[in-house]
Amino acid sequence: MSGVLADLTVEAALGRWPFVARFLQDKGRAELLDQPQALLAGALGADLAREMEEFIAAMESFLGTQEDEVRELTIKGGRAKDGSPEKVAELTVRVGEVICIVGPTGSGKSRLLGDIEWVARGDTPTGRHVLINGEEPGNRWRFGSGPKLVAQLSQNMNFVMDLSVEEFLTLHAESRQAADPQDKIRRIWTWANELAGEPFALDTPVTSLSGGQSRALMIADTAVLSASPVVLIDEIENAGIDRQQALDILIQQEKIVLMATHDPILALMGDRRVVIENGAMVKVIAPSERERANLDELKALDGKLMELRRRLRAGEVLDRI
């Protein structure tokens, strides 16, 4: 971190690290906040500038904004439930990709997601290893106080806190020291309403949100505020939200998305799908042109079903389809 403040004005430092304001206030140097063009290092002096650099390093580690970004994730195959080696010896996933995980109930889809979340080192029942950027990761991703590698969205999202949507998002934005938190809160709320299709207000208690609204809120929140580079989703098709838009939002925010699903539309929307049998990855399939052609027809059918659901909720009579 040595020299990170060199030639930076107070205004530039605050733009890059909003939490610097709190440091200046705590150190009795709040007057610098009224001197935006002052060179920060010179104004602080060598000792206090060094202390600020150490503070910035600690905050970046906690918030997950340091430069050691996750570009790809590699799963090294382990063993099936019967002890035989996994047929897929290695699977690498890169930022911006959507990988669907398919297989019968109980086949081991959730176990694969669990191995990724734990950053397995051969110490789970499957014996898999998870690499980050091609290397065995350190303990930071397992035990560090900063952001986790994975943000997991499960089938059931239930809130128990007595907060409004706005209060919940404000709490998360403040904990992340987010720049321009009001803009981020508004963006999350707007995206969540677009995903859910059932509008809710910022003053709606989170405990009164429906399952679809809760999942939509958490997907939008994960995209905007979460520092986790990998998103694991378990059966998004059961959430009653716009699946295509949900994936688009996560990809735009440069997330690696892995999704366990039984939905043929989602399976064909992904870049690849991993087939799980007997607790093991048995094959990886990239959708063919013929499959992609079927996707348009499936989306049309799905759109018709969603319109029927909308009409049903609105109390209409379904005398025409």
**Residue 166 and residue 53 in one domain:** no
**Residue 27 and residue 110 in one domain:** no
Residue 85 domain boundaries: 72-287
Q: Looking at the domain assignment, is residue 26 inside a domain?
A: yes
Q: Please give the Cα distance from 186 to 169 (Å, whole number).
A: 9
Q: Looking at the domain assignment, is residue 321 inside a domain?
A: no
Q: Please give the Cα distance from 27 to 18 (Å, whole number).
A: 16
- Per-residue DSSP letter, 15: H
**Residue 25 and residue 87 in one domain:** no
Q: Can you give the pLDDT of all 321 residues of the chain as single tens digits?
A: 346 787 888 888 887 788 888 889 888 999 999 988 888 888 998 889 888 888 887 776 665 554 457 889 999 999 999 999 999 999 999 988 999 999 998 999 989 999 998 899 999 999 999 999 999 887 777 776 566 788 887 766 667 678 999 999 999 888 777 778 899 999 999 999 988 878 899 999 999 998 888 888 988 998 888 878 888 887 665 556 777 788 888 877 778 899 998 888 888 888 999 999 999 999 999 998 888 888 888 888 888 887 887 788 789 998 887
**Residue 147 and residue 242 in one domain:** yes
Burial class (CB in 10 A: 0-12, 13-18, 19+), 105: exposed
Tally the domains of the chain.
2
Q: Please give the Cα distance from 11 to 13 (Å, whole number).
A: 6
**Residue 197 and residue 174 in one domain:** yes
**Residue 20 and residue 117 in one domain:** no
The pTM (predicted TM-score) of the whole model is 0.69
**Residue 98 and residue 35 in one domain:** no
Q: Looking at the domain assignment, is residue 20 inside a domain?
A: yes
